[in-house]
């Protein structure tokens, strides 16, 4: 089960990277705005998902990464939807997503600080 979870985070990281590049291209042709911010957030968070996915980690670390992803999806998704003319995903989607991203990063920090590694590092 851990392998599938790790693989899923790698897929999420790769898809965030691809979406970030695609939306950056759209932003460069449409004047930037909210889509540029969404693209930047996708690109800057993609490596975190790849790192947790490739290195594995404890269940709390993976859960923190998933919280980070949900926050990113809400935040960037709301900004991108607004670029294309919709009002928003739902009221307070971007602030909710931003709060989840902050909590996800803080959870990653806490897990990293307080976890005890019992298995040897992978080569």
| Domain residue ranges of the chain, discontinuous segments joined by + | 2-112
What Cα–Cα distance (Å) separates residue 69 from each residue in 26, 31, 90, 102, 121?
Answer: 22, 26, 18, 11, 25
- What pLDDT sits at residue 32? 83
Q: CA–CA separation, 110 vs 114, rounded Å? A: 6
- What pLDDT sits at residue 117? 63
- What pLDDT sits at residue 78? 94
Per the CB < 8 A criterion, the answer to whether 75 and 101 are in contact is yes
Tell the residue number behind the tokens 């998902």, with chain if given. 49
Distance of CA 109 to the CA centre of its chain: 15
pLDDT in tens, 42-74: 999 999 999 999 887 788 999 999 999 999 999
What count of residues does the chain have?
123
pLDDT in tens, 83-114: 988 788 899 999 999 999 999 999 999 998 98
- What pLDDT sits at residue 119? 56
């Amino acid at each position: 089960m851990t392998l599938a979870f790790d693989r899923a985070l790698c897929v999420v990281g790769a898809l965030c990277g691809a979406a970030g590049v695609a939306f950056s291209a759209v932003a460069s042709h449409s004047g930037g705005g909210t889509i540029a911010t969404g693209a930047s957030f996708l690109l800057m968070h993609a490596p975190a998902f790849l790192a947790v996915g490739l290195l594995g980690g404890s269940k709390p670390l993976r859960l923190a990464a998933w919280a980070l992803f949900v926050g990113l999806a809400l935040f960037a998704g709301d900004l991108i939807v607004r670029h294309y003319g919709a009002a928003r995903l739902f009221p307070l989607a971007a602030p909710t997503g931003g709060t989840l991203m902050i909590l996800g990063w803080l959870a990653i920090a806490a897990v990293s600080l307080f976890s005890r590694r019992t298995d040897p590092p992978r080569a």
